[in-house]
Structure 1
Amino acid sequence: MVKFSMKAAIWVLAATVLFSACKSKHPSSLNPGKKSTATNSDFASKNGKKSKKKKGAADSQESDGFVVLPYKSQVVGPNLVFIEGGRFTMGALEEDVMSTHDNRERTVSVQSFYMDETEIANLHYLEYLHYTQRDSSAEVYAKALPDTTVWYDPLSFNDSYVTYYFRHPGFRMYPVVGISWIQANDYSTWRTNFVNSNLAKQANGKSKKGSPIKRSKKKGQAAAESEALMASSPSARPAVESGYVLPDYRLPTEAEWEYASKAMIGTQYADENQSNQRIYPWDGSSLRNPRGKNKGQMLANFKRARGDYAGIAGKSNDGAIITEEIYKYPPNDFGLYNMAGNVNEWVYDVYRPLSYMDFKDLNPLRRDGFLDDEKRYDAKNSNSVVNDKLRVYKGGSWNDVAYWLSPGTRRFLSQDSSTATIGFRCAMISTGRNK
């Protein structure tokens, strides 16, 4: 027994020595070292002084060297979920019943990014309006207001929604609608500035409670927080170099949205081969939960058939006649809620019917009419509606049949228009490594 214990101890010691010998000593983004590998000069420490030197070393190094702040990971903003990037087949998977032929299959890769786990709710947008009214002009505030008249229909009694849907407390966590693409972008800009302003206060020690940011408990993160404003004025957001600053919130690109919606993880076999594609943001072709205590319940909020928005009272099929709360239905494999149904969602891309032909296969984006100018389309004579102000929206809504729930389907609307079926969620770049 003693001999066995001694042998085990020797093997453990040998493995430890081998692991230490194999461990890379090369600098990385998270651990760049104390010296520059390009100039061999010492990096300044967090207090602006040079790093500690070994005994006997020359003391000629200036104290105002290049400052490299501690950095452990990207600060994760509120409501964001990490989406690991990868390759996927972008495009429509179902029969093109609309005969648009505008999203044919092609293979693209998307870098890792973050996305809101939910659609932006009425409560979130009311918060935005509160600060906009307080800090901006009446004209800016008026432009930010959602169009609540999108609920009005001369052949329907939806008048109550015009008054109550956006502001009544009972609808707080329902997705905001009546928002144009332009307004969604304005909200994203405000959100970026507001969250980073909170970070700046936190870095200055002015806000220690109630911060929406997920704090890292890793050693060295506190130092990054305290020094985040080193290269910026007290009123500005933290310097980018500090690592304690959020990249911009923005609308996701069409490729990002479609990739996140399909959530093709857990479907691989034999290295990089995939066993199946996904028609919807979940496995299979059924729109009902196939197992568990919720077996048979609808997986999304949509219009099942003509005149059927929710089924029969007492046995409702999806539980919602119009929209429903943003956490109501099961999330997909990335942890994102309502990537099918509830409300359609704006994406960043300009609409072009031939986007599948002229595209980059890495992080594709159609930002304008490059290679497909709007002059090619006869909009003046009403033979086409294509122009650089049309924006894509995806996902299907409470007022759409199941066909539009497929991530590969796409529609478009003018960027300054809004409806009762379109909302939005934000995305953000992931800095650094893919994982």
Structure 2
Amino acid sequence: MVWIPGGTFEMGSDEFEDSKPVHSVTVNGFWMDEHEVTNAQFAEFVKATGYITDAEKPLKPEDYPDVDPEKLKPGSAVFTPPTHPVSLDNPMLWWEYAYGANWKHPLGATSTIEGKDNEPVVQVSYNDAQAYASWAGKRLPTEAEWEIAARQGKPATIYYWGDSLKPKGQWPANIFQGDFPWQNTAEDGFTGVAPVKSFPPNAYGLYDMEGNVWEWCADFYRPDSYTKNAEINPKGPSSSFDPEEPGAVKRVQRGGSFLCSDQYCIRYKAGSRGKGEVSSGGNNLGFRCVKDK
């Protein structure tokens, strides 16, 4: 873990509706994992506790009354690129529910993490991440802690690394190049998850705070959070609400993933936010932990 000094910074972004308004926030110093939790680290947790992740559990028929019970098998969301250009208005054209997809089989039942100890663990829900953090004697970062760490004490820039998408001709993070979602040119060297520390760290010594995999935060998600947020060590709202899915309980995700590009999901930009239902995962979603003094 690396020490993140406390301080005051301007949180949020005027580019995204749910990241407005930009507001001054003060955060105490804390320790943060230098990289996302890896497959090897998560395997130690499972071995020690026998923990079963949400993606390994059958879906509950009462939650899906209109679905054939025979289809309610364990699984999770997997990015499945089409073979041709498609409308960017329908994410279901490149996401599918894959039976058997979980942290040990991130792309489906026949996939494996063998030989991938240093890749970020994915297909973990908020509940799974919270369980790991508790076992490790840590916790998930607040949204404010995550952002102050990503901003690394620098003046506000378009991206956490600076104002240029490709500074000095080098890709600074694992994101999508090419025509999303069907043609990834992999100019940064990766079409999917990259092993931790594949890209340079930020000024605080943190790796992959942009791109690679989304990271769970402790805060409930609401699009109006910043209009009611505390200014000192904010912990987010007391409950979640997403007008797109009013019945779902969601938490904040930060940092973007290997699927973010300048054509779609530009949420690797500084101050932007993501969201996710607390029992759901995906093959582009992981986490890292923090700890107080």
Question: TM-score, length-normalised on structure 1?
Answer: 0.53
How do 1:9-88 and structure 2 match up within 5 A? 80-88=1-9
1:320 paired residue number: 190
Taking the TM superposition and a 5 Å limit, the aligned residue runs for 1:183-222 are: 183-192=128-137
8 Å Cα contact 1:393-1:412 kept in structure 2: yes
Alignment partners' CA distance in 1, 2:119 and 2:247: 32
- Give the Cα–Cα distance (whole angstroms) in 2 for the partners of residues 257 and 393 of structure 1: 10
Partner residue in 1 for 2:165: 287
The secondary structure found in structure 1 opposite 2:108 is helix
Whole-angstrom distance in 1 between the partners of 2:75 and 2:288: 19
Q: How many Å separate the matches in 1 of 2:272 and 2:44? A: 32
**Alpha-carbon displacement from aligned partner over 1:171-197 (angstroms, at most 9, x marks no partner):** 2111111000011000111112xxxxx
Relative to structure 1, is the Cα distance of residues 152 and 393 closer, same or farther in structure 2, using a 3 angstrom cutoff? closer
Q: Per the alignment, in what secondary structure is the counterpart of residue 337 of structure 1?
A: coil
**Greater length-normalized contact order (CA 8 Å, ≥ 6 residues apart):** 2
Give the gaps of 5 or more residues in structure 2. 58-73, 83-93
Give the Cα–Cα distance (whole angstroms) in 2 for the partners of residues 113 and 345 of structure 1: 17
2:288 maps to 1:425: yes
* Unmatched segments (≥5 aa) in structure 1: 1-79, 134-139, 193-248, 266-275, 291-295, 378-382, 431-435
- Say which SS state the counterpart of residue 162 (structure 1) adopts: coil
Greater mean alpha carbon deviation, residues 405-414 or residues 332-341: 405-414
Is 1:330 aligned to 2:200, yes or no? yes
CA contact (8 A) 1:343 1:423 kept: yes
Q: Secondary structure at the match of 1:356?
A: helix
Q: Of 238, 259, 275, which residue of structure 1 is paired with 2:148?
A: 259
**Aligned residue in 2 for 1:175:** 120
Q: Offset of 1:287 from its aligned partner?
A: 2.5
Q: 1:149-202: per-residue Cα shift (whole Å, max 9, x none)?
A: 433749689998324655311x2111111000011000111112xxxxxxxxxx
- Residue 42 of structure 2 is aligned to residue 125 of structure 1: yes
1:390 corresponds in structure 2 to 250
Letter in 2 for 1:287: L
Larger radius of gyration: 1
Q: Whose strand fraction is larger, Structure 1's or Structure 2's?
A: 2
Instruction: Measure the CA separation in 1 of the matches of 2:291 and 2:183.
Output: 34
Once the 2 structures are TM-superposed, how far is the Cα of residue 279 of structure 1 from its aligned partner? 2.0
Cα 1:84–1:388, aligned 2, differ >3 Å: closer, same or farther?
farther
**Change in 2 beyond 3 A, CA 1:409/1:327:** same
- Rounded Cα–Cα distance in structure 2 between residues aligned with 1:415 and 1:399: 20
Q: Secondary structure of the residue that 1:420 maps to in structure 2?
A: coil
Report the counterpart of residue 204 of structure 1 in structure 2.
Answer: none
Q: Report if the CA contact (8 A) 1:349-1:367 is conserved.
A: yes
1:413: Cα distance to partner?
Answer: 1.3
CA distance in 2, matches of 1:409, 1:110: 18
Cα deviation 1:328-367 (Å, max 9, x = unaligned): 0011111100000000111000011111111110001115
The aligned counterpart of 2:52 is 141
Q: Choose from 204, 221, 236 the match for 1:366.
A: 236
Give the counterpart letter for 1:340 in structure 2: E
Aligned length, in residue pairs: 254
2:77 counterpart SS class: helix
Structure 2 length-normalised TM = 0.77
C-alpha distance 320-364 of structure 1, shift in aligned 2 (>3 A): same
Q: How does 1:216-231 map to 2 (within 5 A)?
A: none
1:154/1:405 CA distance change after superposition, 3 Å? closer
Q: Give the SS at the match of 1:108.
A: strand
- Measured at CA, do residues 411 and 286 of structure 1 come closer, stay the same or move farther in structure 2, by a change above 3 Å? same
Give the Cα separation in 1 of the matches to 2:19 and 2:53: 36
Aligned identity (percent) is 31
Tell me how far apart the structure 2 counterparts of residues 189 and 309 of structure 1 sit (CA, whole Å): 40
Q: Does 1:150 align with 2:77?
A: yes
Matched AA of 2:7: G
> Which amino acid is the alignment partner of residue 260 of structure 1?
A
1:102 shift after superposition: 3.9
